[in-house]
Structure 1
Amino acid sequence: MEGLRRLEYRGYDSSGMALLDADANLHRVRAIGKIKQLENKVDALDEPFTGQIGIAHTRWATHGIPSENNAHPHICNNKVAVVHNGIIENYQTLKHKQLAAGYKFTSETDTEVVAHEIFDNLTESDDLLDAVMQSLKSFEGAYALGVMATDNPDTLVAARKGSPLVIGVGIGEHFIASDVSALLPVTQNFIFLEDGDVACLSRDRIEIFSVLTGERVERPIKHSNLNITAVELGKHRHYMHKEIFEQPQAVIDTLEGRITQDQILVSSFGPTAEAIFASVNRIHIIACGTSYHAGMVAKYWTEDIVGIPCQVEVASEFRYRNPVIENHTLFVTISQSGETADTLAALQQINAMRQNKTAGLRSRRASDTQSDHQDNSTLSSTSSDALNLPTLSICNVAESSLTREADLVFLTHAGPEIGVASTKAFTTQLVALALLLTSIGKVQNRLDDGREAMIAGGLQKLPNLITMALGHEDEIRRISEDFADKQHALFLGRGTMYPIALEGALKLKEISYIHAEAYPAGELKHGPLALIDETMPVIAIAPLDDLLEKLKSNLQEVKARGGQMIVFEDERSDISSENSFKVVKATTNVGRITAPITYNILLQLLSYHVALIKGTDVDQPRNLAKSVTVE
C-alpha cells in the first residue's frame, strides 16, 4: 500500500491489490478513485487481508472506462493474477481466440487477455516462469508485467518490453515496481530490467532470462542515492510548489562539475563528446510536451550560438512519417523520465537507421510490411561508410531506457519530480541544452573565449535570478485572482519567448483546465486578434531586447480591443507606464539564455496559483500521467 502511495503522482483512476495467503488462496480488492478508497475497502473486510506475496497497481485508463471491473489486478479462474503497464496491441485477436476456447471476460481491458494466456499455458506446464515465457511470444505492444499464481505460491514473475520495470533487492525479500521511488522505504539496491527480460523472483533468489533465447542473463545491481525525504512534501502544500522552489538548487546541481568561472567543460557530455561534436553539421531535437518546448528554445540558441541548422520535432510525429536524415546530424532526445514511449521509439528508430548504414534512410511504421520496406528503404546521397548519426539523450533519470540507447548521455540532476506538470525538469533541460550548444560551438571554434565566458557567467547567475523571480509569488498570487471566472487565455512572446509562451499556456491548461493558447506576438493580425475582448486575459512576455518595441505595438493592438493585459517585463523596461496593464517586473540579466528561464519561473507561479483558485488537483490533473509510457 505504501508503494502505491508513492506512485500516486503518476496519475491514475483506480487501484487494486491481490495477495496469496498462507494456504495459497488468492484474494483481491479493487477500488475506483484515490488509493484512500482502496485502503477503506481493505479496512472494511471481515477477514484480515494478509499474505507474503502480492501484486498491486494504480491504473490509468486506456482500454475501458475507469471502473472496478477494469481495475487491476486481473485474475483468471482464481488461479493467475496479473498487473500490467503498457498496451497489448493485438489483444482483440487474442480475445477472439480465447472466447472461442471458452474463456469468460469480466473487463474491457487489454490486460485480461494476458491473465488468460498465462493460465492457458499453465495447463501445459506447471511452471509459472515457463508459462509466462511462452505467453510473451503471443503479445504485441508494450508491457511491464507482474504475475503470480496459486500453483507457484513462492514465485513472482516479471517481464518488460517498452515499459519501465525495476527489481528491488532486499534481504530475504525482493520486489518489483515501475519506479524506484515506490521501493525507497524498503531498499536502495535495484536491478533495472531491459527490454526482453523476464525475471523470476522468490524470497531468496532473483533469476533473469531473455525471452528471445530463453537463456539466463546477468544485470548489475545499482545502488540509488535517492532517499525517502527526497519525495516528501515538507512545508509545501503541493509537489509542484515544492519543485518550483527547488529550481535554484536543481540548476546548481546540474552545473556542478560541468562549468568553471569562464568555461564550459565539453567532457561533461562524455569522453567521446569532443570528437562527436567536431563532426556535427546540424542538430535534430526530438521530444514531447514540455521537453519539446525546451527543444524549441534551443533552436533559437543553436542558430545564435553555433550557427548551424537545428530542427525540432514532436517525437510522435517523427516516428510516423518518412524523415529524410542527413549525414553528420546529432540527434538529441529529451525526456524527464527517460521512458517516454514516443521519444524512446524515435531514438530506437535512429539507431535502426544507423544499423542499416544508409544516410537519408526513409523510415516506415513498424507495422509496414517487409515489401514496403524494400520499396522505400533507401534515399542515400552519401556512402554508407561515411554514415555519422550520433545520438545524445538529455534525461533526469539514470538507468532509464533512454540513457541506455544513446551514444552520449547528459543527466540533469533535477532530483525526483513528482508533480505531473513539469517545472524543474524543464529548467534543467534548458540548462543542459545551453551547455550542449556552447560545447559544440567551442569545439568547432564557432564562438570565441569571450562569448563562452559570458555564457558561463550567465549560467552561474541563474540560481540567484530564479530566487529573485520566486520572490514575486505574492504579486503573482494577486494577479491570479483575475482568472477565477476565466475559461480562456492567450499567451504572447517573440523570439525565445514564443516557446516560453507555449510552455506557459501548457502549464495553465494542464493544471487549471483553462483553455490556453500561445502565439508569436507578430501573428496577432493573422487570426488570434479575433478572440480578443474584455473577457480574454492576454499574458505577454516582454524582455528588454531588440524585439521589445515590436512587442509594444502588438500590446497596443490588444489594448485597443479591450483585452486584459498581464505583462511580465524586465525591470528596466517602461511598459508599466501603461496604467491599463498589470505588470510584473523581473530581473532577468538580459541574457539570451538566462531571460527565457527566468520568465518561465514567473509563468509557473501564475499557473500554480490560478489552479489553486480554480480548486483543481494541482499535482495529479485529470486524464494526465507523469510518465507517458504508451503511445
Structure 2
Amino acid sequence: MCGIIGFVGREQAAPILLDGLERMEYRGYDSAGIAVRSETKGLQVKKTKGRLKVLADLTHGGADLEGTLGIGHTRWATHGEPNDVNAHPHVSENGRIALVHNGIIENYMELKEHLQKLGVTFKSDTDSEVVAQLLEYHYNECHNMLEAVGRVLRRIEGSYAFGIICADYPNALIAARKDSPLILGYGRNGNFIASDVTAVIKYTRDVAYMDDGEIAVLTADSVDVFDDELVPVEKKRSTVNWDVSAAEKGGYPHFMLKEVMEQPEAIRKTISPRIKNGRVVLDEISLTEDYVRELSRIFIVACGSSYHVGMVSKYNWEKLLRRPVEVVLASEFRYCDPLVDEKTLVVIISQSGETLDTMAAMREAKRLGGRTLAIVNVVGSSIAREADDVLYTWAGPEIAVATTKAYTTQLVLMDLVGLYLADRLGSVEQKEYDVILSEMQQLPEKMQQVLCHKENIQYFASRYFNHDSIFFIGRNLDYAMGMEGSLKLKEISYIHSEAYASGELKHGTISLIEQGTLVVALGSYGPLFDKAMSNVVEVKARGAEVLALTTENFREKMEKTADATIAVPVTHPILQPSLGVVPLQLFAYYVALQRGCDIDKPRNLAKSVTVE
C-alpha cells in the first residue's frame, strides 16, 4: 500500500526522499509528497496528485528544498479523494508539525469533532490530518514532542505507521508503528525510516524492524526506541542480504517479466536447502511427530494469490495427509467463528508478512488456541515474528504488484511442507515420496524449458488481447491454477476474467458462452484429462474459441479440438500447477503489453495491503 520514507543526517534530504519513494512505486499510489525542515526556511512541504515524476519535476529532483531532515509519502486513497490537499504529508494548523501516515485511524471522526469544537480548522478529508492536529494540541500542552506523540498514541484507535518532524526539533525524526510495517535503517551519513527495505537498500543494509506500540527517535548519529510507556527498548538489528540490483530491472522492460524469468532460480533457492539425503528437512520449525499425529484439522488462511496457493495445497495436502484441510480468505476468517483448538494447525501465507487481514486472522487463531505456521518471503516481517513457526520462501525482492515468483515459491514450499507432514504421519508410500521429491528437484529445469518458448505465448496474446471477457475452466488442481491465471489477467490487463470449475458450467455459467467468447481450458491434471476434454467440446459447441493448456503427453489429443494449445513438460500431478501457472503469467503479461497497460503498477492495486 502507501509508502513512507524518512531521513535525518548530513546530506540534503529531499533527493534521498524522492529516490526512496521511487523505489516503492510498485506499492501503488495516487499522490506523493515530501516535507523537509531547514534552518532558514522552516518546514517546506511539496505534494501533488499523480505520479512521483510530477513531484520530482515540481522540486527539480528535490534540489529546491534545503535541509537534512525530512519525510516523504506515496498515498493510496482511503479517506478522501486523490488530490493535492489530501496528499501527505499533513501539517498541523500552526505549520510546525508535519506527518506521514500509513494505516487507518478508526476513531478519527470522534477526534476530529472534538478538535473542531476547540476551534481547529481542517483542510483535508483524511483521517491522517486529525493526527497532525492532535499532535499540535498535545504539544502545546506539554512542550515535549516525544511526550506529545505518546499522548496521541494512547488516544487513537486503528493501525498506523507514522513519520513525524517538528520545526522546533531541527535534528530529530520521530516514528511510531502499530499493525503497519515500519523499519529503521542505520546509515553512515544518517538514519532512516521506511515502510519497505527497498527504499533504503541503496544507502544501508543495517536495519531493525519496529514492533507494535514502539516509538523511535532518530538523529543523524543515533536511533533510540521506546515502548508505549516511553521505556527504552534495545532493538535487534538485521542485515539485508540481497543486492540493490535485485530491486532493479536489469535490462528487462518490466519488473514483472524479470520476476517471471527469475522463477527457476527462486524455486531452486527455496527447495535446495530443505532436501538432504533424499528427505525433506525443515529444521526451521518445531512440529513434533506427536503433535502432527494429533492434528484434527488444518486451516490455510491467505488473501489474493496466496489464497490460490492455499487452494492448490488443499487438494495436495488432503491427498498426502488424509486430514481435512479448509482454505479460508483471511478477511473472512475472524468473522466466521472458526473451529480452532489446540489440535488445529493454521497455516498463514503472506508474501510481505505484513498483510493486515492475514495478520489479524493469525492473531485470532492464536487466541483460540491453534498453532500457527507462517509462509512468508520477508525476513523479520510482522507475521514472521508473531507466528509459532515460520518458513521463508527465498524469492528475493518482488517489485511488480502482480506476484509471480512469490506465488511459485510459496507453492513449492507448501508442497515441501505437505511431504514433510505426510512422512511424519506415514500417510504417503515411500515410492511416491521419492518420485515427488525427485520431480521437485527437476522443477527449475522444466520451468526453464517453458520460459524458453515464451514467444509462442506472446503470439497467442497478440491473437486474443482484444477480448473483453475471458473464462478459465478446469477441474481439481487445474481449477485452482485457473483462479490464479484469471487473477493475473484481470490485475494487469483490466479484462473481465473469471475462473470456474468445469463441472459447474452446466449449472449456469455456460449461459455466458457465445460465439467468439475466449475460454482458456486447462487440461494439465492427468487423472481428469478426459473430463477436461469433454468440457472443451461443450464450450466449442456453443461458439467459444478455446486456448488450451495441457502437458506434452496430451498435446496431440488437445490440438484435435482446441483452437490453440500451449503444452508444458510433464511432472508429478501435485507439482503440475507450478509449471502450468508460468504460461498463464506470461499470457497475462503479453496481453497487458498489447493493451498498453501499466504492467508493474496496475490501477487501484497495491503490493502489500496493510489496511482492512
Task: Answer yes or no: same fold by TM over 0.5.
Answer: yes
Structure-2 separation of matches of 1:289 and 1:265: 29
**Residues 507 and 604 of structure 1 are in contact (CA less than 8 Å); yes or no, is this contact kept in structure 2?**
yes
Taking the TM superposition and a 5 Å limit, the aligned residue runs for 1:389-428 are 389-428=370-409
Match of 2:567 in 1: 585
2:358 maps to which of 343, 346, 362 = 343
Question: Pick from 492, 501, 517: which aligns with 1:536?
Answer: 517
Q: How much has 1:198 moved relative to structure 2?
A: 0.6
Structure 2 residue 294 is the aligned partner of structure 1 residue 284? no
Partner of 1:191: 208
SS in 2 for 1:486: coil
Structure 2 counterpart of 1:69: 85
What is the SS of the residue equivalent to 1:333?
strand
Residue 282 of structure 1 aligns with an amino acid whose one-letter code is R
Q: CA RMSD in A?
A: 1.5
Q: Which of residues 170, 173, 180 is equivalent to 1:153? A: 170
Q: 1:489 and 1:56, CA in 2 relative to 1: closer, same or farther beyond 3 A?
A: same
Determine the C-alpha separation between the residues in 2 that align with 1:321 and 1:444. 29
Q: Is the 8 A contact 2:464 2:591 kept in 1?
A: yes
Mapped contact 1:588–1:599 kept (Cα < 8 A): no
- Can you list the C-alpha shifts for 1:235-262, whole angstroms capped at 9, x where unaligned? 2110110000000000000012101363
Counterpart residue identity of residue 523, structure 2: A
Contact 1:264/1:452 (8 A) holds in 2: no
SS in 2 for 1:593: helix
Counterparts of 1:463 and 1:546, CA distance in 2: 24
Matched, 1:562 2:543: yes
Q: Match of 1:572, SS?
A: helix
Mapping 1:448-527, distance limit 5 Å: 448-527=429-508
Structure 1: segments with no counterpart, 5+ residues: 355-388
Can you list the C-alpha shifts for 1:381-403, whole angstroms capped at 9, x where unaligned?
xxxxxxxx211000000100001
Q: Give the match for residue 197 of structure 2.
A: 180
AA matched with 1:248: P
Counterpart position of 1:623: 604
Is the counterpart of residue 264 in structure 1 residue 245 in structure 2? no
Alpha-carbon shift at residue 544 of structure 1 (Å): 5.4
Letter in 2 for 1:586: V
C-alpha deviation, 1:265, in angstroms: 1.3
Q: Distance in 1 between matches of 2:169 and 2:515?
A: 67
Q: 1:40 and 1:137 mapped to 2: Cα distance?
A: 39
Paired residue type of 2:335: Y
Runs of 4+ aligned residues of structure 1 deviating over 6 Å after TM superposition are none
Distance of 1:448 and 1:501 partners within structure 2: 29
Aligned mates of 2:494, 2:75 — CA distance in 1: 22
Secondary structure, aligned partner of 2:146: helix
Structure 1 counterpart of 2:13? none
1:323 and 2:371 are equivalent in the alignment:
no
* 1:136/1:210 CA distance change after superposition, 3 Å: same
What is the CA distance between 1:520 and its match in structure 2?
0.7
Q: 2:589 aligns with which of 576, 583, 608?
A: 608
**Using the alignment, how far apart are the partners of 2:290 and 2:20 within structure 1?**
44
Q: Kindly provide the CA deviation profile for residues 150-185 of structure 1, in whole angstroms up to 9, marking residues without a partner as x.
A: 111111110000000000012351110001110011
Whether contact under 8 Å (1:184, 1:228) holds in the other structure is yes
Aligned to 1:116: 133
Partner of 1:34: 51
Provide, for residues 592-622 of structure 1, a one-character-per-residue CA deviation record: whole Å limited to 9, x for no partner. Answer: 2221111100100000000001111101000
CA contact (8 A) 1:88 1:141 kept: yes
The residue number in structure 2 matching 1:222 is: 238
Seen in structure 2, the aligned counterparts of structure 1 residues 125 and 426 have a Cα distance that, compared at 3 Å, is same
Q: Per-residue CA shift, 1:408-461, capped at 9, x if unaligned?
A: 110000000111101011101111110111111111111232222111101101
Size of the aligned set, in residue pairs, is 593
Separation (CA, whole Å) in 1 of partners of 2:404 and 2:288: 28
Report SS of the residue matched to 1:506: helix
**1:206 is the counterpart of 2:218:** no
CA distance in 1, matches of 2:235, 2:61: 42
1-structure distance, mates of 2:288, 2:149: 42
Distance 2:331 2:561 in 1: 45
- C-alpha distance in structure 1 between counterparts of 2:407 and 2:525, whole Å: 23
The answer to whether structure 1 residue 302 and structure 2 residue 284 are counterparts is no
Name the SS for the 2:368 alignment partner. Answer: helix
Counterpart-to-counterpart distance in 1, 2:216 and 2:342:
40
CA–CA distance in structure 2, aligned partners of residues 525 and 545 of structure 1: 22
| TM-score normalized by the length of structure 2 | 0.95
1:386 aligned residue: none
Whether contact under 8 Å (1:262, 1:454) holds in the other structure is no
1:541 Cα offset (Å): 1.0
Alpha-carbon distance in structure 2 between the residues aligned to 1:561 and 1:23: 74
Structure 2 counterpart of 1:19, from 21, 36, 39: 36
Partner of 2:7: none
Q: TM-score, normalised by structure 1?
A: 0.92
Structure 1 residues 261 and 235: alpha-carbon distance in aligned structure 2, compared to 1, 3 A threshold: farther
Q: Cα deviation per residue 1:64-103 (whole Å; 9 max; x = unaligned)?
A: 1110001000001210000000001111111111111111
Quote the sequence identity (%). 41
